[in-house]
Amino acid sequence: MRAYDEDAREILAKAKTIRRRNRRRNAAVGTALGLVLLIAAGFAIRKAGLRRKAGMIDLPSPAPVSESGGQTVPAIGAPTETATMAATVPNAEAPTEQAPEQPTNVPPTESPQPETTPVGGEIAVEKHWDEKTAPEKYPALQVNGREFSVQTRPLDPAFVGEDLFTATLIGQDLYTEEIHTQTAAAKRIAGADPNAGVAVTLEDGLTYAYLDPWFGTATLGELISALSLRESAAFGDGCATLPDDNGWVQRVYLDFDDALIWDALLPDETAPNLAADGNWENWSRSLVGIRIDVPRLGIENRSLTVTEDGHLILNVPGAPAVWFIGPEKAAAFIRYLNENVPYTDERFAVPSGSEAPEEGGAPEVIEMWSNGVQPE
Amino acid sequence: MDAGANAYRRFLDGDDGAMTEILRAYREGLTLFLNGYTKNFSDAEDLAQEVFVRLAVKKPPYRGDAALGTWLYAIGRNLALDHLRRQKRAPIPAEDPADADRTDAEAIYLGKEKNETLWRVMGTLPDAYREILFLTYFEGLPNKAAARVLRKSTHSVETLVHRARRALRTALEKEGFDNESL
């Protein structure tokens, strides 16, 4: 066998080469990610411009939080909040099924796009109006100047309550840029603050939730209470992305006990919502994202994210709210997961020229069972 | 603290020269362990070197004497299983040009005659028994650490150790040894 010191030198040289390659690759991935974000931002701006040009709505801005914890918006049924917003809303009183004419404040439209062309460079092909499902036709609802967004999962009628007010549903045919409006009864969702969301029965006979994505509260406890999350939220798998020598490992934690989340991550209901000041982007690396569904509100596949520096980010009902639990609790939680919750690892290799792994970037799935439970 | 763990702490502190001592502490044992999977000593040597390269790249935090061995053997086992999967797709001749190296490694690692006998008899046992005996008897890993390497529960490792020892005892008795200490 060769001498130890000779092998040690070779190992250290190889390690140095790999570290240098990883740095280059990470820089390339960062550049690619930046480009994707730029393209996405460009598309969002273009889409917002189209909607504004069509006189439909103004985009909502992050909701300020009042001292009492609720948003500084009037309660459902109160007079319209701002003149500016009211001026841009199509005639909410007109009970038109599909408005044949555009609202008077809509400027003349440009020539329609060719029928088979995806709109605005979207990756997904925009459906024609007649092909859309009911919630796809009417993705938004105007309430006192605020826009509520539809959740495409129908609600259980058992959780739909009395009528609250008549709502104006808004949709747009992006091929013709024609605005469609429809009035419908907005109903109470059991256990949910009407300022956060209401239920509306659409033309397909099913009832859907329309939620205010910017509904915010000052404390965690207020959010839990406003949406009855203790009774209605269900947590699913957790997912973490871990760095690996030749790429990354996607770890999925299975069989979460919801009580663990409530006890370990969400026990402090007085925790303030740090996103209330609009500065919710500066959190460190995500340690794990846990799926959360709220069937009663039609919410599916949102996430509760735990970051390395001890923040929780929860995007229910829409915009992220941020709570601080401290890095020690976050680390302890991850430690608990690794030691007690079964997980699977899926390894992704990144091809890198001649040094590409033999798999050529195809994911390699390795089953791991941290608590020793072997698959049948 | 054993020499390998001590060297690793120095390596983490920036002393690249400590890699030589880490190799001295772990290389032969790891290579012999991996040879149990590859049945080809050259491949086992290459895989062992790859494990040490990964150690030098990742530099996992120091967590105690047994932890470094556990990390090395767990990574080594993963690499060996990957290697076997690749080999299944493109089988290569089973010739082993490094048979003399294997003998050297065994001599360095086993040291005592009693261990050599054990090693030889262990080679006749099923892979699962040989694997667990290697980790717990030769490497001295606690059952919990061996369980992490083998991705099994501590309970199933304890059962495996019990059965492996019983099989080894039977095999030793057939060879004419009376080893009550096992």
pLDDT tens, position by position, A213-245:
888 888 888 999 999 999 999 998 888 888 776
Q: Using CA atoms, how far apart are residues A307 and A291, in angstroms rounded to an integer? A: 15
B156/A372 Cβ within 8 A: yes
Helix (H, G, I), strand (E, B) or coil at A352: coil
Task: Give how far the C-alpha of residue B92 lies from the chain's centroid of Cα atoms, to the nearest Å.
Answer: 23
Instruction: Say if B53 is an interface residue toward chain A (CB within 8 Å).
Output: yes
Q: Which position has the higher pLDDT, B111 or B122?
A: B122
Q: Nearest C-alpha of chain A: how many angstroms from B156?
A: 8
What integer is the mean pLDDT of A311-321? 84
Residues of B in contact with A1 (CB under 8 A): 28, 45, 101, 104-105, 108
pLDDT band at A318 (very low <50, low <70, confident <90, very high): confident
Lowest mean per-residue pLDDT among A91-95, A215-219, A270-274, B100-104: A91-95
User: Which tokens belong to A25?
Assistant: 């690759």
Residue A196 φ then ψ, to 5°: -90, -30
The single-letter code of the amino acid at A300 is: E
Nearest to A248 by CA among A257, A239, A256: A239
Nearest C-alpha in A relative to B74: A368
Q: Using CA atoms, how far apart are residues A223 and B24, in angstroms rounded to an integer? A: 58
**pLDDT value at position A116?**
41
B147/A11 Cβ within 8 A: no
The single-letter code of the amino acid at A68 is: S
Q: Nearest C-alpha of chain A: how many angstroms from B167?
A: 24
B153/A372 Cβ within 8 A: yes
For the full predicted model, state whether its pTM sits above 0.80: no
Nearest to A358 by CA among A273, A202, A223, A246: A246
Residue in A4, A245, A369 nearest the CB of B20: A4
User: Which tokens belong to A325?
Assistant: 């639990």
Q: Nearest C-alpha of chain B: how many angstroms from A346?
A: 13
Q: Which position has the higher pLDDT, A290 or B98?
A: A290
**pLDDT value at position A63?**
37
Q: Of all residues in chain A, what percent carry a pLDDT higher than 70?
A: 61
Q: Nearest C-alpha of chain A: how many angstroms from B4?
A: 13
**pLDDT value at position A205?**
92
Q: Which of A154-168, B24-38, B138-152 has the highest mean pLDDT?
A: A154-168
Residue in B24, B53, B58 nearest the CB of A11: B53
Q: Which position has the higher pLDDT, B89 or B117?
A: B117
Contacting B with CB below 8 Å, chain A residues are 1, 4-5, 7-8, 10-12, 14-15, 18-19, 22, 245, 358, 364, 366, 368-369, 371-374
Q: Using CA atoms, how far apart are residues A219 and A324, in angstroms rounded to an integer? A: 11
Domain ranges for chain A: 1-53, 62-105+125-211, 220-368
Is the complex ipTM more than 0.85?
no
Domains, in order of start, for chain B: 1-110 (1.10.1740.10), 112-182 (1.10.10.10)
Instruction: Say if B107 is an interface residue toward chain A (CB within 8 Å).
Output: no
What integer is the mean pLDDT of B80-91? 72
